[in-house]
A = this chain, B = another copy of it.
Amino acid sequence: MTTAYRKRGVDYSTGSMFTLSPEFYRSEEIYREEIDNIFYRRWLMVCREEEIPETGAFITVAVGDESIIVVRDDRGTIRAHFNVCRHRGTRICEREQGQFGSGDIQCPYHAWRYRLDGTLKAAPLMNETPSFDMSDYPLHSAHVGLWGGFVFISLAEDPVPFETEMAGLIGRFEEWHLPELRIAHTIKYELKCNWKLILQNYQECYHCPGVHPLLSKWTPFRGAVHDCMEGAVIGGYMEMKEPNGGMTMDGKPASVPVCDVSGENLRRVHYYSVFPNLLLSPHPDFVLYHRIQSVTIDRIRNDCFFLLHPDVIADGTKMERFRSAIEFWDKTNREDWHVCEQMQLGLRSRRFERGRYSGQEDILFALDREVLKALGRTPPSR
């Protein structure tokens, strides 16, 4: 994926591009820095708006050592609260998703109660405690950003504005009417590799001929084009070989085109990474996305979702056909996970030093520099 990207004036293909040191995949100290400076600061995609459809509906999401409650409040606004009681630090909510019954968030230990907007509503007997002011003890809150039906949060006290970080996404993919789409299928994976290896894997197709024979047949790897590198958003597209093709087991479309998708987009498969945890892939006939959660330095959860128009989801015959896309991507995902896990194992070697990127991997060199910048470290010279 290089052509269009190069057109934008940065050509990484000259000189030598070296990979990050293996320390970035095995040093607990660097991993701690990544949690603090990336996962606790940047914008993370946590769910679709449809997953918390009404007042009181919530999900909880783990970020490093934090648990965050994402909930729709009485006014319909989506809020994100740290899942920890201000009284003595008890984790309040245990469920991964649900509905707050009485419209309140209540700590199971000493029964302090918070409103859906996070303010403290009741703290038994604290009126007997001198100089205790309930307004001083709302739940700690995280920032919320919305785009295309996706819910993002930032745990930073003062994050980069959502619109700045997501400039590369805003206004893009309008033909898909993303907010109207709904989750048609989910696959959950657990991988034994560092989170960065998945982003790298997603951004180059140098590995496709050997790892993905079927994908390479439908979308020849040298047709990859990068057309965006703004803030957190990096990506581009691959062209399908056949005019009426699809990313399925038989190479034919999985479904009808999504909403207003037309023209050249009928032949393109888009691949965007939204640093650090969303991989977004609009196809002509559906939208695929991955939500990445770093569990430890060498463990991630990767939940993979398929979005379709509700009319398609409601149509049993169309969904039957759609299974071919699910099968294709599950197979392709597993091909990727395997090589990422092999790379994690290899990077434990003390003998291996920094590797050399090919011209096909120039975007990884740029991605590595983003990581280094986020950690306040000097980017590698070439």
Contact = CB atoms under 8 A, between A and B. Distances in A.
Interface residues of A, number: 62
A88 B24 CA distance: 13
A132 to B, nearest CB: 7
Contacts of A126: 358
Given A111-B209, A351-B140, A19 B346 contact: no
A333 interface: no
A85 interface: yes
Interface in A46-96: 64-67, 82-92, 94
Nearest to A344: B91
A183 to B, nearest CB: 28
A210 B110 CA distance: 7
Given A129-B359, A211-B108, A359-B129, A82 B352 contact: yes
Residue from A92, A94, A132, A355 whose CB has the most chain B CB atoms within 10 Å: A355
A349 B89 contact: yes
A293 to B, nearest CB: 16
Interface stretch (A230-238, A244-252, A270-278, A335-343): A335-343
Contacts of A22: 89
A206 B124 contact: yes
A207 B347 contact: no
A15 B356 CA distance: 59
A288 B188 CA distance: 46
Contacts of A16: 130-131
A117 to B, nearest CB: 18
A40 interface: yes
Residue from A67, A89, A108, A128 whose CB has the most chain B CB atoms within 10 Å: A89
Contacts of A15: 130
A10 interface: no
A94 B342 contact: yes
21 contacts: A13-B129, A14-B130, A65-B348, A65-B350, A67-B349, A82-B349, A82-B352, A83-B346, A84-B351, A85-B355, A86-B356, A94-B342, A108-B210, A108-B211, A108-B339, A109-B339, A123-B358, A125-B206, A125-B360, A128-B358, A128-B359
